[in-house]
């Protein structure tokens, strides 16, 4: 079933390059996403036979057919995120592509007309990206994991360059180059990891690495973690390495931004968490945790500072992604119960941010500008979009009830429990700053008097664009109110995979 999960989007992606008809290709995208989601649900469901959850959590059972790919709860969690997000993205993309076809792109704030990339390339890359992403979540070999994460980079680059104009090209180039170089460093990390296990002969397979972690060469393992952290951290968007991120997120189409922030960054996160688990088993949890907390906090601070003067609402969302990557890294670094919070935050962030990016696409279509100061009184022009926009704001900043709030709360509680008062204080302070900075933007965009632009037609809010965003936001609210038992055990199992205590 794991194999089918990867092959389905792969085959569909290759087919998308060949199909001539737009309608057929779009329905292929939609149905592949649905089929993938169904399969993912089956795989996750198959993991918990008859509700006896914890037993399955502890030891992952690799499928004998392919030792390369197998699922443990951590992989399953990220698979679930990817599949669910892709389902919404496919729904959104189909409607979006139809609209783009009729009304080819016009970038009002650039003041120029541009073309779009061929739809076949876009759809094909989307599907291949899903395939690579699925393989990332299932991969049980560090070398393979590296290759697949790099593959997601390469497959998503054409997606960013969907709108063919200078700025998106600049963003694509930065993304491609910085991430490729970053990931090349991660390859160094893998080599160090291999060298660390040379004496005990464990190789790069995850299972022997975890079981034989104690025999690994400690200094080399530290070097491996450093390189992998910098490499995957670049892709994930942690602070000093995040420079490509606001450009790429803001210049790509909304659906791609959503996938980048919700799915792609989690792929890199998974890479870090995997090697973190190995380090934790080798007794280096203090070292890796310290690094994660440091760079996590740095990311939160960076995001907060850049949020204050922000003039572009998609860049603002991008910085908010950096903030949440920082929070997740902090949670994972603090260890213990915070890991659970970090994973919950990762899940909720992916959903909310995807919803917000979807909504930002609607706003861009309605107002033809990405400049915050040019958007006023959104609720008059597009009332339903405005509601989603505001709801998304409250959810992403961690207003209860939401999964984001729960995640942050758990991390904060753990920081206090560990007597890290300075950390907790700084965390709260910058979260407050972020809340203030974002509140200014969201409120000034949503409310206020709107001056209609000359010759503007009434804006049609398509259900196909609204529904995925709304669904994601509702799911996050629900996660804040009630975590179903299976999700709890999935998160707990995933936390156990990283090295967190229950």
Partner 1 sequence: MHTLAELIIVFVILLNLALSVTGGLAACIRLVAVQGVVAGILPLLAGDGAPHARTVIFAAAIMLLKGAVFPWLLLRARDRSGAGKDVEPLISYPASVMLCLGAFIASSWLGSRLPLPDTGVAWIVPASLATIFTGFLLITTRSKAITQVLGYLVIENGIYIFGLALFVEQPLMVELAILLDVFVAVFVMGIAIFHISREFDHIDTAELSELSDWRRGEYGK
Contact residues toward partner 1 (CB under 8 A) are 68, 109-111, 141, 143-144, 146-148, 150-151, 154, 157-158, 161, 164-167, 169-174, 176-177, 180-181, 184, 187-188, 190-192, 194-195, 198, 203-204, 217, 219-220, 223, 246-247, 250-251, 306, 309-310, 315
The residue (of 90 and 220) whose beta carbon lies closer to partner 1 is: 220
DSSP state of 336: T
**Minimum separation from the CB atom of position 245 to partner 1 (A):** 11
Considering the complex, what minimum distance in angstroms separates the CB of residue 315 from partner 1? Answer: 7
In this structure, how many other beta carbons lie within 10 angstroms of the beta carbon of residue 298? 18
Q: Which residue do the tokens 């119960």 mark? A: 337
By beta-carbon proximity to partner 1, the closer residue of 29 and 307 is 307
Cβ atoms of residues 350 and 259 within 8 Å: no
Helix or strand holding residue 116 (H, E) = strand 115-116
H or E element in which residue 485 lies: helix 485-498
User: Which residue bears the tokens 């169904």?
Assistant: 38
Q: State whether the Cα torsion 477-482-488-492 is positive or negative.
A: positive
The secondary element (H helix, E strand) that includes residue 350 is helix 337-367
Question: What angle (nearest 5°) sits at the alpha carbon of residue 324, between those of residues 441 and 166?
Answer: 65
Query: Token pair for residue 124?
Result: 């094909």
Residue 295 Ramachandran class (φ > 0 left, ψ -120 to 50 alpha, else beta): alpha
Tokens of 236: 């994930």
Burial of 50 (0-12, 13-18, 19+ CB in 10 A): exposed
**Please, what is the minimum distance in Å from the beta carbon of residue 493 to partner 1?**
27
CB 238 → partner 1: shortest distance, Å? 17
Nearer to partner 1, 68 or 447 (CB): 68
Closest approach of Cβ 203 to partner 1, in Å? 8
Choice between 191 and 207, CB closer to partner 1:
191
**268 vs 492 by CB, closer to partner 1:** 268
Residues 6+ apart with CB under 8 A from 226: 189, 291
Which of 312, 414 has the CB closer to partner 1?
312
Residue 372 CB, nearest approach to partner 1 (Å)? 13
Beta bridge partners of 205: 141
**482 neighbors 318 (Cβ within 8 angstroms):** no
- Min dist CB 2 to partner 1, Å, is 16
Least distance CB 188 / partner 1 (angstroms): 6
Residue number with CB closer to partner 1 (176 or 343): 176
Shortest spacing between CB 338 and partner 1, in angstroms: 30
Number of other CB atoms surrounding residue 399 within 10 Å: 14
In the complex, least distance from residue 13 CB atom to partner 1, rounded to whole angstroms: 14
∠ CA(444), CA(249), CA(234), 5° rounding? 125
Q: Which two tokens stand for residue 378?
A: 């959104």
Specify the residue, 173 or 287, whose C-beta has the smaller distance to partner 1: 173
Distances in Å between the Cα of 256 and the Cα atoms of 155, 162, 253, 481 are: 12, 9, 5, 29
**Closer to partner 1 by Cβ: residue 166 or 501:** 166
Which of residues 143 and 464 has its CB atom nearest to partner 1 in the complex? 143
Tokens of 322: 């950096």
Any bridge partners for residue 139, and if so which?
69
């Amino acid at each position: 079933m794991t194999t089918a999960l990867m092959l389905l989007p792969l085959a569909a992606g290759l087919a998308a390059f060949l199909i001539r008809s737009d309608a057929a290709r779009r329905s292929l995208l939609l149905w592949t996403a649905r089929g993938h989601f169904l399969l993912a649900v089956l795989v996750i469901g198959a993991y918990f036979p008859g509700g006896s959850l914890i037993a399955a959590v502890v030891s992952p059972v690799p499928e004998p057919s392919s030792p390369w790919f197998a699922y443990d709860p951590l992989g399953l969690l990220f698979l679930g995120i990817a599949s669910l997000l892709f389902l919404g993205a496919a729904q959104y993309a189909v409607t979006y592509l139809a609209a783009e076809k009729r009304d080819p792109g016009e970038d009002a704030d650039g003041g120029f007309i541009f073309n779009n990339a061929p739809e076949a390339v876009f759809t094909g890359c989307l599907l291949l990206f899903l395939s690579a992403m699925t393989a990332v979540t299932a991969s049980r070999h560090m070398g393979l994991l590296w290759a697949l994460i790099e593959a997601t980079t390469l497959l998503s680059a054409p997606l960013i360059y969907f709108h063919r104009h200078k700025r998106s090209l600049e963003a694509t180039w930065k993304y491609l180059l910085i991430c490729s170089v970053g990931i090349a460093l991660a390859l160094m990390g893998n080599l160090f990891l291999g060298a660390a296990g040379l004496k005990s002969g464990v190789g790069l397979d995850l299972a022997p690495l975890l079981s034989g972690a104690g025999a690994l060469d400690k200094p080399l393992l530290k070097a491996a973690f450093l390189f992998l952290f910098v490499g995957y951290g670049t892709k994930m968007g942690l602070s000093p390495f995040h420079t490509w991120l606001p450009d790429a997120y803001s210049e790509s189409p909304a659906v791609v931004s959503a996938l980048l922030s919700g799915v792609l960054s989690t792929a890199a996160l998974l890479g870090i968490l995997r090697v973190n688990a190995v380090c934790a088993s080798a007794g280096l949890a203090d070292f890796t945790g310290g690094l994660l907390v440091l760079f996590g906090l740095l990311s939160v601070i960076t995001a907060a500072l850049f949020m204050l003067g922000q003039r572009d609402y998609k860049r603002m969302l991008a910085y908010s992604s950096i903030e949440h990557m920082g929070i997740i890294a902090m949670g994972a670094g603090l260890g213990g119960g915070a890991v659970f919070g970090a994973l919950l935050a990762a899940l909720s962030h992916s959903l909310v941010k995807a919803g917000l990016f979807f909504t930002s696409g609607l706003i861009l279509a309605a107002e033809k500008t990405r400049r915050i100061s040019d958007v006023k009184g959104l609720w008059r022009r597009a009332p339903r979009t405005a509601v989603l926009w505001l709801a998304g704001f409250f959810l992403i900043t961690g207003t209860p009830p939401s999964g984001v709030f729960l995640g942050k709360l758990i991390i904060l509680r753990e920081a206090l429990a560990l007597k890290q008062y300075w950390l907790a204080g700084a965390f709260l302070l910058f979260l407050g700053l972020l809340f203030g900075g974002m509140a200014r933007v969201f409120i000034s965009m949503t409310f206020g008097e709107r001056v209609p632009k000359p010759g503007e037609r009434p804006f049609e809010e398509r259900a196909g664009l609204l529904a995925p965003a709304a669904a994601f936001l509702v799911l996050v609210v629900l996660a804040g109110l009630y975590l179903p038992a299976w999700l709890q055990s999935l998160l707990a199992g995933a936390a156990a995979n990283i090295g967190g205590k229950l």
